[in-house]
Structures are given as C-alpha cells and as structure tokens.
C-alpha cells in the first residue's frame, strides 16, 4: 500500500513537473536566441505571463466552426499529459500507469494531437489554416517513417519498446552506449526533434516572419484555447527533449528509489540537462537558416538514412 | 638468359626515349622500326627457347615465361613491328596534311614505344598484382596515344577510355584480392599465401569455392573491360576511331590479347579449383553477348574504324566462346583465332588509315570506288576483309571452324546454331560495307590524286595477309606443338 | 581483426571509425559543392588511415604501419591538394551537376549499402567474426557508392573522385579482410590512384583547352 502511495505521488509529481517546467524551458531557449542575436530578450518567465494573460481573455470563435474547433485544444493538451505518464521523466523504473503504452503508443499520441490541430485549422475556414495544415501533414509524412525506424532501432538495442528498458540497457553496458548504432540513432532523433518542434532548418518562427506551420494552424484561436494550445506546444518540445535525454543520450540522474531526495535530484538533473540541450538548440537555431520547402526531402532523407544505418550497423557489431 | 630478357625489354624503352630526345624525325621513325624488328626476332628466339625448355623462371620467380606467355609476346611483337612500319607512312602523311604538329609527332613516338614495352612486360609477370599495375600502365600510355591529334572527339574518347578501363581494373583488383582471400581464410588447413600465378595454380585445390566463384566473375568483368568484352565494350569504338591507325591496330590486336591472357590465367586457376563447368559457363555467356553486340554494331555502323572496332569486339567474343567451350578444338580454335585476328585486323586498320588520308573522312558512305584511286590498297583491303570474315583460305576460317566443331562435339547445339547465324551475319554485313567502299564509282566531285601512297603504306598490309593465307593452307608443326602445349597449360 | 583477441575498447573504436567512414561517403553523396566533396574525401582517407593504424597496432605487423603512413601521405594530403589546386587553377565551377537529385541519390546509396551487407554476409560469414562483416560490408558499399557517383554526376572532377572512392573501398576491404596481404597489393592501389589522377588531370587540361569547360555533357558526341 505504501509503495503504491509513493508511486502515485511520483506519478502526480511527474505530471506537475512537466506542466510547470515546460514554459520555463521554452522561455529559456527564446531568451538565449535573442542574446545570441545581440539583444536583451524577454524574461525567462515570459511564457508564464503569456499563459496567465491568455487565460483572462475572452474567447472568439469563427461562426462556421464546429465541435472540432472547440475540442482540439483539449485533445492536444490531454494527450500531452498522457504522454508524460508513459516516459521516464523522473524515475528510472516504470510508474504504475507507465505500462499503458510503449514508445509506439507515445508516437501515436503525438500524432493524435497534431492530427486534431490539423483538422481544427481546416475547420477555421481561413486560407492560412489550409496552408498550415497541408505543410504540417507533409512534414508528418516525411518524418513518420524515420520515427518508426528510430523506434525499431531502439527496440533492437534494448529488445523491447518500453523506454525504461532502453534506459537500463544503455546504462548497464557501456560498450553498447558507445556503439555506432546508438550514436546514429541519437543523430537521427535529433534531426527529427528539430523538425517536430518547428526549429530551423524546417521552420522559422520569429515574430517578424510568421511561420507557415505552427502559428498558421492556431491563428484563429484566442483566450484560454490559445493558452492550452501554446502550453501543449511547450510540453511537446519538453517531452521530446525528455525522450531524447533520458532515454537516448544521458539516462543518468533519474531516481531509482522512492525517496524525496531522489525526487529532488531527479528534478534538478532534468532541469540541468534541459538547459544544456537548450543551449545547443539555441545555437543551432541561430546558426543555420531555413531550408527551402522543396529541400525538406533532403533533410528527411538524411534522417532516414541515419536511422537505417543505425539498424544495419547494429546487426554486425563486434561485441 | 636474364640478360637477354633485360635487353629485350630495354630496346623499346631505349627507342622511345631516344626518339623523343633527339628531335629528328627520320631518326625516330627508323629507330622505332629497327627496335620493333629486334623485338620480333627476340620474340621468335624466346619461342624457340621455350619449345625446348619447359618454363623460364627468372628473378626468383618474379618473371615466369611459359608457352602461353611466349605466344602472346610473339603476337605483340608482330603487331609492334607492323605498326611501326605503317606508322612511318601514316605519320608522314599526317604531317603533310598538317593534322599533327611536330611536338605531337615526337610525343607519339615516345608513347608508342613505351606502350609496346608495357605490353611486352605483361605476359612475363608471375605476380597477379604487378600484372594489374602493368595493365594500368598500358592504359595510361595508350590514352596518350589516343589523343595524338588533340581534337574534342579524341579527348572525349580518351577520357571515356581511362575512366571505364580504370574502373574495370579496380574491379579486377578486387577480384585479385578475393582470389588471395580464398586461399587465406583464417582457420583453414593450408594457406596459399602468394600472388604468383604458378603457385596458385599448383595449390588450386585449397581455395574456397564460393569466394572463387565471385572473384572469377569480378575478374571477367574487370579484365573484360580492358579486352572490350560486352557489356563493358563501350570505350572501344570511340578509342579505336579517334586514335591514329597504327595505334588502333596495337590497341585492338595486341592489348586485347594481353587482357584475354589474364582472364585465361585466372580461368585456369578457377577451373583447377572448382572444376571447369562454372567458369566455362561464364565465359560462354560473356562471349555470346559480345558477339551479339559486335554484330549489331557492324550492321548499324557508319564509320570505318568504328566498324573495325565492333568487329574486334565480335572476334574477342568468339575467342571467349572458344575458351569457354573448352576441349581440344575449342581452345585450339581460340588460340589460333587470336593469331588470325592479330594479322587480319592490323592489316584492316592500316587500310582504313590509308582511306582516311586519301578521302579525309571516316564515313563509309562517303568512301566509294577506292579501287580506282588506290588499287593496291583496295586489293589488300578486300583481301583482308575476306580473311577477317573467315573465307578460306584464311587462318580465321580454320579457327572458327574448329570452335564450331567443339560446340558440336560437346552437344551444345544451340551454341552451334547461334555461332553460325552470327558469323553469317558478320559475313554479310562486313562484306557489304567493305565492298561498298572498294567497288563502285568514285564521286566525281572528289578530286584527289589517283594512286597509292608510298610503299610503307601497303607493305604492312601485305605481310600479315600473306601470313594469314599461308597459315590457312598449312599450319607448321612448330605452331601446332606450341598450341598443344598451351592447351595443356590451361587445362 | 581476424583471429586476434583484443581489449574491448579497440573493437569499439574500430566500429565507430567504420561507421564514420560510411557516414562520410553519404556526406559525399549529398553535397553540392566540389570543394566539399574533396574535403569529405580527405576526411574519409584520414579515417581509413587511423583505422589502418589501429589494425597495425592490433596485429603488430610492420606492413600495416608502412601502408598506413603511405595512405596518409598520398590519399589524405597529396591527392586532395592536387585536386583543389586544379580547381583554383582552371576556375572550375563549384557546383556539381547531378543527373539524379540528392534525396534519390541518398536513398540509392542506402540501397547499395544494404545490398553490400547482404553480399558480404553470404560470402564471408561462415568464418569471420561479426566486426569483420561490418567493416567489409562498409568497404564494399564504398565501392558501390563510388560507381554510383560516377554514373550520376556530370563533372570530370567527380568522375575522378568516384574512382578514388572505389580505390578507398578496395583498400579498406583488403586491409580489413586479409591483413596478411602482401604489401604489393596496397602499393598497386596507391600507384593506381596517383597515376589515374595524374592522367585524368592532364586530360582535363586538354579538355579545358579544347572546349573551354569541364563539363562532361559533351561526352554525348560520339555515339553508336
């Protein structure tokens, strides 16, 4: 009974961490980018202020919108919350609800949220919506095979599709950590991460140039709906980073036992890892420019090749 | 003995350097002629020595000359001699027509002798890897010869030549490495750790089978590129057409022989290793495909030298099929075909060169009525084409006949039918094209002087044709023994 | 690699090097600028050099050391240097003309790699440890990718580079699969490279003099 209580507390804490920290990371990255460009940039907590402000505003809905428009923010937000239950955010062992789905289930939930936002943007009735959703669908088509192959690679290494097992396999045997297939998977996933979170070279979303994908899709939303969508966007980025860091790159620092100390260590180590990756992401974002639309296929072909090579080199490694 | 071989090799080297350094044209021409004559004598001498001894090993096994090598050296020496004789006439005419500058003239003689030198070295070498280096050197030397007249087309031809052949040689190198691997698998009982042909032939039973199959295919593809076996033949029509005629004769007649020599060496090792069935099949397939492509080319061809190039491809295909059929008649026929092809093809290329100088064109449709303008050359050219197709009395008739005989003997009736059909097609098309050139009325607007060129232009055509006709009647016992000896070596 | 028992980190290093070599060939497939190609080739040769060195340490064979350093000089330093100087001297345009566009080239390269793995597995697997299969498949895929590059690009420099990649692949294969190969074969490969590059450069010179450009689109002149 005690164990279950502890696990439940950990589970709730996991969700709260994700909810609370995701805007912080987003704000941190955008501030870093502004600093790299030589400006002072908004405060790190700006996203919190934005969310708070948005929750106060009134809701405006286009007259032709249907239930899809009203339900999309909720679907997106809730699926993000569901994903946090599945992946190792704070703990190195699966929490009670963590067996609901493996990595493929997580991918499904990501696609679910993206899909609903797509049809909601079509529902808006403006041309921007069509533009945004068509581009988003194209990106999804190009990136889904690679994502599946990355999961296949992970499954080959870890012999299971649960992220926790992968974590254990990587930490237990160092040669596996340093094998080329592991590094290739990291590279492929990083490329997908850049694509999915609307960073360059896929998407440029400065306030001067309105992006064609993300912001176009949620153009008509206002008030709390917009707040939910923005929050789920922050959470998507956070969760992708969590998968990237805690499963693939640096799975250490997660708590192994049910203790408050372990919890605090887990949270702080997570924040620290996030900040480091945030720096790297900001550097990349400012250093390279956006690819032309028709050159997206090269980018995704590269990611695809990396993941296939990871699988191939795994088959015949020397140990 | 050592000194003799060294001198034999130094003669062309000496000739090439001296003719380049001493910028005297007459001197270069006659020095080359003289050196090739010496080489011819030397080749006969080597042959005589080989017939009396078994195999000559020199320099600690680095050089191994047996009957097969001596035969190839002889063939190369024959072409070298004839080409240098014809080259005198060709180059003089080219200088007169101002198609060549003086610098190019000397560059031609420099690389001509070097090319001959590299082709002499190749059959002597015992080591597989050094053989490939030498083949690469022949490519380089001959590519400079192809661009003797620097035009756009010749550069393009030379570029294709180097690119395709180097890619092919790298494949052959891969095949060689795999050959070595097949003898050196870790954990096997007996390691065959040498790249010498003779050594590998002796220990062929210890080689791994699967790797040997794959390696042999690679060798056929790689060296087949050099020998212009389809489908790797694509460089040949361009290179033969753009190179000066004496060089085309050397390329077609002796370089391809050297490449086939390499393939057959590997063929011997593979056959000793896994039985002759599999390599024979591969050779037959490659050969028949080459004959087919050659025939197609002959039928649709418009340029004189390209026509002869496709005829070369066809003959190489016949040689390959002959080796692939195996048995006494097949191998005998193939070897004799090499000799006949050398004689007849060089003579034809010289004739085509004469046509080029007289008519200033390579287009078959524009060359008409040679008989009225250049009677001696026309006569020799038509005799040559008859000999090339295999009309008796010609040595090619005997060789093709014996190859067909072998296919009948082995029961491969479909090969017999195919060969007959193909040879008949070649007969018809080649004869029609050369006939259209030789006979007919010359164009009236075509004003060029009547009469042949000086004797150096047709004597090189006369000599090999005479030899071919004589051999068509009677094969001397020495030649017969030599060829039988080679059959024993291969089998 | 064949038959030697080594500490684990050596295997890890070899694996990583081989994977990087494969990646560098894909980088070459996906680049549009000729100087990038040449730098990637130099980088690949450097990786091969390090791999040969590691193998030499592993087997204590003096031949491998010699060959490794020869590789360093010829492939990593001299050949890229010559090529880069040629580009500057003749003002060759930097952009590569492609027949097959980049994404399709990358996917074709991938298919060729998978094919190479399959082929090597059939040939060598009965008697080789797995790491040799990995390395030799990558070497064979280098050869295939080299051929593919010759087919799918238009410029003379990329033709030369395609041949060089083939030679790299052959060298890697020979070093990995048969380390006891007589040194003569390695010398053949190096010699091949030098001579081929020299001859092709001279031909390019002539080509430039005649036609004024290095594009090989004019290679369609002689047909039939």
Give ipTM to 2 decimals.
0.86
Q: Is the pLDDT of residue B463 over 80?
A: yes
Long-range CB pairs of A102-106 (<8 Å, 24+ gap) are: A102/A160, A102/A161, A102/A162, A102/A163, A103/A151, A103/A154, A103/A161, A103/A162, A103/A163, A103/A243, A104/A148, A104/A151, A104/A161, A106/A163, A106/A243
> Would you state the pLDDT for residue C220?
46
Q: Which residues of B touch C156 (CB under 8 A)?
A: 159
Q: Is B296 part of the contact surface with chain C (CB cutoff 8 Å)?
A: no
> Would you state the pLDDT for residue A79?
92
> What is the distance of C-alpha B32 from the center of its chain?
20
C184 and B129 within 8 Å at the Cβ level: the answer is yes
Least Cα separation, residue C80 to chain A (angstroms):
25
Better pLDDT: B481 or C82: C82
Report whether the peptide linkage leading into residue B393 is cis, meaning its omega lies within 30 degrees of zero.
yes
Q: Is A17 within 8 Å of A238 (Cβ atoms)?
A: no
Subunits with 3+ C-beta pairs closer than 8 A to B: C
Q: Is C151 part of the contact surface with chain B (CB cutoff 8 Å)?
A: no
Q: Which of B160, B166, B297 sits opposite C219 (nearest CB)?
A: B160
Is B145 part of a structural domain of the chain?
no
Do A and C touch (≥3 CB pairs < 8 Å)?
yes
* Residues of chain C in Cβ contact (below 8 Å) with chain A: 8, 11-12, 14-16, 18-20, 22-23, 26, 30, 102-103, 106-107, 109-110, 113-114, 117, 129-131, 133-134, 137
Domain range spanning residue C166?
A: 8-209
B170 and C170 within 8 Å at the Cβ level: the answer is yes
Closest CA to C90 of C216, C202, C221: C202
Is B461 part of a structural domain of the chain?
yes
Better pLDDT: B77 or C62: B77
Q: Is B210 part of the contact surface with chain C (CB cutoff 8 Å)?
A: yes
Length of chain C: 224
Q: Is the pLDDT of residue B55 over 80?
A: no
Is C68 part of a structural domain of the chain?
yes
Q: Is the pLDDT of residue C214 over 60?
A: no
Size of interface B-C (CB pairs under 8 A): 128
pLDDT digits (tens, 9 = 90+) for A96-147: 777 777 788 888 888 899 899 888 888 887 887 888 888 888 888 888 888 8
Is B360 part of a structural domain of the chain?
yes
> Would you state the pLDDT for residue A2?
59
Q: Is B9 within 8 Å of B120 (Cβ atoms)?
A: yes
Better pLDDT: B63 or C23: C23
Q: Is A292 part of the contact surface with chain C (CB cutoff 8 Å)?
A: no
The rounded mean pLDDT for chain A is 83
B173 and C173 within 8 Å at the Cβ level: the answer is no
Mean pLDDT of B404-426: 86
Q: Is C216 part of the contact surface with chain B (CB cutoff 8 Å)?
A: yes
Q: Which of A180, A300, A302 sits opposite C16 (nearest CB)?
A: A180
Per-window interface: A 164-193 vs C, CB < 8 A: 175, 178-181, 183-184
Subunits with 3+ C-beta pairs closer than 8 A to C: A, B
Q: Is B383 part of the contact surface with chain C (CB cutoff 8 Å)?
A: no
Better pLDDT: B361 or A36: A36
Mean pLDDT of B284-312: 88
Closest CA to C149 of C52, C14, C31, C1: C31
Out of A268-277, B469-478, C128-137, C195-204, pick the least confident: C195-204
Length of chain A: 319
Closest CA to A143 of A107, A102, A180: A107
Mean pLDDT of C134-162: 85
> Would you state the pLDDT for residue C91?
65
C163 and B163 within 8 Å at the Cβ level: the answer is yes
Question: A77: pLDDT confidence band, cut at 50, 70 and 90?
Answer: very high
Closest CA to A110 of A245, A248, A236: A236
Task: Quote the percentage of chain B above a pLDDT of 90.
Answer: 3
Rg (CA), chain C: 18
Q: Which of B177, B186, B211 sits opposite C170 (nearest CB)?
A: B177
C224 and B237 within 8 Å at the Cβ level: the answer is yes
> Would you state the pLDDT for residue A209?
56
- Closest residue of C to A183, CA-based? C16
Question: B57: pLDDT confidence band, cut at 50, 70 and 90?
Answer: confident
C196 and B173 within 8 Å at the Cβ level: the answer is no
Do C and B touch (≥3 CB pairs < 8 Å)?
yes
Q: Is the pLDDT of residue A24 over 60?
A: yes
Is B440 part of a structural domain of the chain?
yes
* Range among A200-204, B219-223, C30-34 rated most confident: B219-223
Closest CA to C102 of A174, A42, A305, A31: A305
Other beta carbons within 10 Å of A127: 9
Q: Which residues of C touch B155 (CB under 8 A)?
A: 203, 206-207, 210-211
Q: Is the pLDDT of residue C219 over 60?
A: no
A183 and C114 within 8 Å at the Cβ level: the answer is no
Token digits for A84?
Answer: 């946090």
Alpha carbon distances (Å) from C194 to B284, B355, C75, C200, C201: 36, 39, 9, 10, 11
Is B193 part of a structural domain of the chain?
no
Do A and B touch (≥3 CB pairs < 8 Å)?
no
> Would you state the pLDDT for residue C212?
60
pLDDT digits (tens, 9 = 90+) for B199-236: 777 777 777 778 888 889 999 999 999 888 878 888 88
Maximum Cα–Cα distance across chain B: 78
Domain range spanning residue B105?
A: 2-125+252-490
Whether pTM exceeds 0.80: yes
Q: Is C139 part of the contact surface with chain B (CB cutoff 8 Å)?
A: no
Is C215 part of a structural domain of the chain?
no
Q: Is B196 part of the contact surface with chain C (CB cutoff 8 Å)?
A: no
Q: Is B169 part of the contact surface with chain C (CB cutoff 8 Å)?
A: yes
C19 and A298 within 8 Å at the Cβ level: the answer is no
Q: Which residues of C touch A317 (CB under 8 A)?
A: 15, 130-131, 134
Q: Which residues of B touch C188 (CB under 8 A)?
A: 129-130, 132-133, 173
> Would you state the pLDDT for residue A255?
74
B132 and C150 within 8 Å at the Cβ level: the answer is no
| Residue that is written with structure tokens 């919890």 in the block | A263
A305 and C109 within 8 Å at the Cβ level: the answer is yes
Subunits with 3+ C-beta pairs closer than 8 A to A: C
Q: What angle do CA B174, B180, B184 make, to 5 degrees?
A: 135
Q: Is the pLDDT of residue B450 over 70?
A: no
Is B192 part of a structural domain of the chain?
no
Is B203 part of a structural domain of the chain?
no
Q: Which residues of B touch C166 (CB under 8 A)?
A: 167, 170
Read off the DSSP letter of residue B125. Answer: B
Q: Is A319 part of the contact surface with chain C (CB cutoff 8 Å)?
A: yes
pLDDT digits (tens, 9 = 90+) for A287-319: 887 777 778 888 888 889 899 888 888 877 644
Q: Is B254 within 8 Å of B76 (Cβ atoms)?
A: yes
> Would you state the pLDDT for residue C222?
45
Helix (H, G, I), strand (E, B) or coil at B127: strand
C12 and A179 within 8 Å at the Cβ level: the answer is yes
Q: Which residues of C touch A185 (CB under 8 A)?
A: none
B155 and C177 within 8 Å at the Cβ level: the answer is no
Q: Which residues of C touch B144 (CB under 8 A)?
A: 199
Question: A4: pLDDT confidence band, cut at 50, 70 and 90?
Answer: low
Q: Which of B132, B158, B174 sits opposite C203 (nearest CB)?
A: B158
Out of A39-43, A210-214, B62-66, B456-460, pick the least confident: A210-214
pLDDT digits (tens, 9 = 90+) for B132-167: 888 888 888 888 888 877 777 777 788 888 888 888
Count up the domains in chain B and report the number.
1
Q: Which residues pair with B56 in a beta bridge?
A: B65
> Would you state the pLDDT for residue C15?
82
Residues contacting C147, CB < 8 A, separation 6+:
B167, C162, C166
Is C130 part of a structural domain of the chain?
yes
Other beta carbons within 10 Å of A96: 13
Is B437 part of a structural domain of the chain?
yes
């Amino acid at each position: 009974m005690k164990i279950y209580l502890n696990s439940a507390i950990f589970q709730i804490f996991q969700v709260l961490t994700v909810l609370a920290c995701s805007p912080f990371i987003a704000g941190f990255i955008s501030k870093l980018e502004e600093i790299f460009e030589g400006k002072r940039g908004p405060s790190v907590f700006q996203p919190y202020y934005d969310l708070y402000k948005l929750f106060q505003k009134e809701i405006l809905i286009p007259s032709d919108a249907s239930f899809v428009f009203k339900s999309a923010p909720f679907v997106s937000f809730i699926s993000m919350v569901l994903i946090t239950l599945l992946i190792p955010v704070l703990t190195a062992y699966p929490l009670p609800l963590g067996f609901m789905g493996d990595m493929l289930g997580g991918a499904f939930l990501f696609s679910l949220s993206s899909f609903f936002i797509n049809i909601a943007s079509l529902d808006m009735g403006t041309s921007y919506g069509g533009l945004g959703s068509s581009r988003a669908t194209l990106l999804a088509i190009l990136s889904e095979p690679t994502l599946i192959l990355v999961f296949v690679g992970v499954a080959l290494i870890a012999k299971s599709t649960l992220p926790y097992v992968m974590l254990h396999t990587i930490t237990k045997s160092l040669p596996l950590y340093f094998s080329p297939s592991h590094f290739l998977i990291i590279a492929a996933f990083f490329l997908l991460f850049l694509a999915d979170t609307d960073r360059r070279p896929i998407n440029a979303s400065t306030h001067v140039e309105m992006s064609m994908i993300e912001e176009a899709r949620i153009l008509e939303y206002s008030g709390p709906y917009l707040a939910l969508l923005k929050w789920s966007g922050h959470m998507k980025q956070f969760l992708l980073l969590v998968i990237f860091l805690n499963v693939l790159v640096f799975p250490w620092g997660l708590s192994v036992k049910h203790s408050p100390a372990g919890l605090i260590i887990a949270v702080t180590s997570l924040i620290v890892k996030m900040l480091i990756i945030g720096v790297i992401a900001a550097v990349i974002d400012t250093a390279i420019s956006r690819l032309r639309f028709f050159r997206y296929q090269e980018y995704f072909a590269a990611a695809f090749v990396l993941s296939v090579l990871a699988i191939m080199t795994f088959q015949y490694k020397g140990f | 003995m050592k000194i003799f071989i060294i001198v034999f090799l130094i003669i062309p080297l000496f000739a090439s350097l001296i003719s380049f350094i001493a910028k005297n044209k007459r001197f270069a021409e006659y020095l080359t002629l003289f050196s090739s004559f010496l080489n011819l004598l030397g080749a006969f001498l080597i042959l005589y020595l080989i017939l009396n001894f078994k195999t000559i090993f020199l320099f600690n096994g680095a050089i191994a000359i047996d009957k097969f090598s001596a035969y190839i050296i002889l063939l190369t020496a024959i072409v070298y001699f004839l080409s240098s004789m014809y080259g005198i006439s060709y180059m003089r005419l080219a200088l007169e027509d101002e198609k060549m500058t003086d610098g190019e003239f000397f560059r031609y003689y420099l690389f001509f002798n070097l090319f001959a030198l590299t082709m002499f070295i190749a059959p002597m070498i015992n080591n597989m890897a050094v053989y490939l280096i030498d083949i690469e050197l022949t490519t380089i030397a001959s590519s400079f010869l192809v661009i003797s007249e620097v035009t756009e087309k010749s550069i393009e031809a030379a570029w294709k030549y180097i690119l395709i052949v180097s890619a092919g040689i790298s494949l052959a190198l891969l095949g060689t490495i795999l050959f070595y691997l097949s003898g050196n698998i870790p954990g096997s009982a007996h390691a065959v750790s040498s790249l010498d042909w003779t050594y590998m032939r002796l220990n062929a039973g210890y080689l791994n089978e699967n790797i040997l199959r794959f390696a042999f295919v690679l060798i056929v593809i790689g060296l087949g590129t050099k020998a212009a076996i389809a489908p790797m033949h694509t460089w040949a029509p361009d290179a033969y057409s753009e190179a000066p005629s004496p060089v085309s004769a050397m390329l077609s007649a002796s370089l391809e022989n050297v490449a086939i020599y390499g393939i057959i060496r590997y063929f011997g090792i593979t056959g000793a290793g896994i039985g002759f069935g599999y390599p024979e099949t591969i050779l037959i397939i490659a050969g028949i495909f080459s004959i087919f492509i050659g025939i197609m080319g002959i039928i649709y061809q418009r340029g004189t030298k390209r026509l002869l190039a496709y005829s070369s491809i066809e003959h190489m295909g016949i040689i390959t099929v002959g080796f692939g059929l195996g048995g006494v008649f097949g191998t005998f026929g193939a070897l004799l075909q090499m000799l006949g092809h050398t004689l007849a093809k060089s003579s034809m290329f010289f004739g085509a060169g004469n046509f080029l100088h007289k008519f200033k064109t390579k287009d078959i449709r524009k060359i008409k009525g040679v008989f009225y303008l250049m009677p001696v050359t026309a006569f020799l050219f038509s005799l040559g084409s008859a000999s090339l197709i295999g009309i008796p009395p010609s040595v090619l008739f005997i060789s093709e006949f014996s190859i067909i005989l072998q296919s009948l003997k082995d029961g491969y009736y479909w090969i017999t039918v195919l060969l007959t059909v193909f040879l008949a097609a070649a007969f018809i098309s080649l004869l029609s094209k050369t006939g259209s050139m030789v006979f007919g009325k010359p164009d009236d607007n075509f004003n060029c002087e009547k009469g042949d060129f000086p004797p150096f232009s047709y004597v090189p055509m006369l000599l090999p044709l005479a030899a071919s006709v004589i051999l068509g009647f009677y094969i001397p016992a020495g030649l017969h023994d030599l060829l039988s000896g080679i059959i024993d070596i291969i089998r | 690699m064949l038959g030697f028992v080594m500490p684990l980190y050596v295997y890890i290093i070899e694996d990583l090097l081989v994977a990087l070599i494969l990646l560098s060939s894909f980088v070459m497939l996906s680049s549009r600028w000729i100087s990038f190609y040449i730098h990637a080739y130099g980088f690949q040769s450097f990786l091969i050099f390090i791999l040969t060195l590691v193998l030499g340490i592993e087997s204590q064979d003096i031949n491998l050391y010699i060959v490794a350093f020869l590789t360093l000089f010829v492939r990593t330093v001299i050949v890229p240097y010559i090529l880069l100087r040629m580009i500057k001297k003749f003002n060759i345009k930097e952009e590569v003309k492609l027949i097959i566009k980049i994404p399709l080239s990358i996917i074709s390269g991938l298919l060729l790699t998978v094919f190479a793995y399959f082929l090597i597995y059939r040939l060598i697997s009965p008697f080789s440890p797995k790491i040799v299969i990995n390395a030799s498949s990558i070497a064979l895929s280098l050869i295939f990718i080299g051929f593919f590059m010759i087919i799918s690009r238009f410029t003379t420099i990329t033709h030369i580079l395609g041949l060089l990649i083939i030679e790299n692949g052959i060298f890697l294969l020979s070093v990995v699969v048969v380390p006891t190969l007589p040194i003569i074969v390695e010398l053949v490969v190096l010699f091949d490279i030098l001579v081929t590059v020299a001859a092709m450069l001279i031909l390019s010179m002539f080509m430039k003099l005649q036609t004024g450009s290095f594009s090989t689109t004019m290679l369609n002149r002689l047909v039939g």
